[in-house]
C-alpha cells in the first residue's frame, strides 16, 4: 500500500516541478473557457432555458470543463505506458513486485492531483470573476461533486489504460490514442454539453463512460442531474468497475503474451 502512495507522491512532485508548463496550460484552458462561454451565452440568449439549464449553468459548465480536462486526461498526453510498451521498456515494469494496474493508476493519480492543483482553479476563478458563473454554496453539493469527479477520474484512467495496453498488440500507441482523444473530446461534453444534444444521439451519449468524466459531476454540482446524485453514483461506480476490471483481465493476457514471446 505504501508503495502506491509513494508513487502518487513522486508523480505529483514531478508534475509540480514543471510549474511553468502547467501555468501556460492553465492560460490555454482559460482562453478556451472564454470562447466556449461566449458561444453558449449566444445560444442561451436566444433561448433562455435548454434541457433544464439556464445561462449561468451553461457558463459555469464552460469553465468547469476546461478546468477538468487535464486531471481527466482527455488529451492523454501524459501517459508513459504506451511508449514504454512500444520501446520494450515495459518488460522492466512487468517484473516489478507490484500490481501493474495499480502502479500505473498511482502514477496517473499523482499527475491528476497536480493538474487539479494548478490547472483547475484558474479558469474557474476567471469565470467567476468576469462571467456569470454561478457555483453552489452547499458543502453537500461539493462533496457529491468530488465523489463524482473521483469516479469520473477512475473511468477516464480505465479507458486510457485499456487503450495503452492495446499497444501490446498494435505496437503503436499514437494511432489508438489519437482516436481516443477525438472520441473523448466529444463524448465527455467538452465541445458541447451532452444534455443539449437532441434525440437518440443525445440519449446514447449520456450513457457512455465518458459522460461520467465531466458531464455528470458538473450536472450533480449544478443540481441538474436527472436521477440526482444517486444515479450518478451508481452509473459511475458501474462503469469504473467494468473498465478497471477489463483492465485487469487484459493485463493478465498481455503479461502472458509477453512471457510467451520471450519478453
Q: Distance of CA 1 to CAs 6, 49, 90, 102, 181, Å?
A: 9, 48, 22, 10, 31
Task: Indicate whether 95 belongs to the interface with other proteins (CB under 8 A).
Answer: no
Q: Is the Cβ–Cβ distance between 155 and 212 less than 8 Å? A: yes
Q: Of 21 and 226, which CB lies nearer to other proteins in the complex structure?
A: 21
User: Which one of 2, 20, 87, 129 is in contact with other proteins (CB under 8 A)?
Assistant: 20
Residue 101 in grid coordinates: 494496474
Shortest Cβ distance from residue 146 to other proteins (Å)?
28
38 near other proteins, rule: CB under 8 A: yes
Among 8, 12, 50, 85, binds other proteins (CB under 8 A): 50
Burial of 202 (0-12, 13-18, 19+ CB in 10 A): middle
Question: Should residue 174 be labelled a site residue for other proteins when binding is judged by CB under 8 A?
Answer: yes
Binding test (CB under 8 A) with other proteins, winner from 3, 16, 128, 197: 197
| 126-to-21, 27, 66, 156, 207 alpha-carbon distances in Å | 19, 10, 11, 26, 31
- Contact status: 103 vs other proteins (CB under 8 A): no
Task: Give the span between the Cα atoms of 210 and 156, in whole angstroms.
Answer: 7
Residue found by looking up cell 467567476 in the block? 128
**Which H/E stretch holds residue 200?**
helix 199-205
What is the closest distance, in whole angstroms, from the C-beta atom of residue 134 to other proteins in the complex?
Answer: 19
Region binding other proteins by CB under 8 A among candidate stretches 55-63, 145-153, 172-180, 206-214: 172-180
16 binds other proteins (CB under 8 A): no
Binding region for other proteins (CB under 8 A): 20-21, 23-25, 27-28, 31-32, 35, 38-39, 41-43, 46-47, 50, 170, 172, 174-176, 178-179, 181-183, 185-186, 191-192, 196-198
Amino acid at each position: 500500500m505504501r508503495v502506491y502512495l509513494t508513487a502518487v507522491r513522486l508523480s505529483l512532485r514531478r508534475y509540480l516541478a514543471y510549474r511553468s508548463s502547467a501555468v501556460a496550460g492553465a492560460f490555454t484552458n482559460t482562453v478556451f473557457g472564454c470562447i466556449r462561454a461566449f458561444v453558449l451565452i449566444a445560444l442561451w440568449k436566444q433561448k433562455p432555458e435548454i434541457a433544464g439549464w439556464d445561462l449561468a449553468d451553461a457558463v459555469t459548465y464552460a469553465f468547469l470543463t476546461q478546468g477538468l480536462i487535464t486531471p481527466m486526461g482527455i488529451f492523454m498526453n501524459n501517459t508513459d505506458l504506451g511508449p514504454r510498451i512500444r520501446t520494450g521498456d515495459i518488460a522492466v515494469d512487468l517484473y516489478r513486485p507490484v500490481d501493474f494496474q495499480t502502479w500505473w493508476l498511482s502514477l496517473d493519480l499523482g499527475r491528476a492531483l497536480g493538474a487539479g492543483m494548478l490547472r483547475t482553479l484558474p479558469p474557474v476563478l476567471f469565470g467567476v470573476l468576469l462571467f456569470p458563473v454561478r457555483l453552489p454554496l452547499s458543502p453537500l453539493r461539493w462533496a457529491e461533486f468530488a465523489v463524482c469527479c473521483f469516479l469520473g477520474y477512475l473511468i477516464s484512467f480505465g479507458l486510457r489504460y485499456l487503450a495503452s495496453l492495446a499497444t501490446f498488440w498494435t505496437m503503436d500507441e499514437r494511432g489508438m490514442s489519437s482516436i481516443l482523444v477525438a472520441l473523448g473530446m466529444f463524448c465527455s461534453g467538452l465541445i458541447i454539453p451532452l444534455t443539449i444534444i437532441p434525440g437518440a444521439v443525445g440519449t446514447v451519449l449520456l450513457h457512455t463512460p465518458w459522460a461520467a468524466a465531466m458531464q455528470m459531476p458538473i450536472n450533480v454540482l449544478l443540481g441538474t442531474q436527472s436521477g440526482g446524485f444517486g444515479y450518478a453514483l451508481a452509473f459511475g461506480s458501474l462503469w469504473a468497475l467494468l473498465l478497471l476490471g477489463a483492465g485487469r483481465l487484459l493485463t493478465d493476457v498481455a503479461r502472458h503474451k509477453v512471457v510467451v514471446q520471450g519478453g
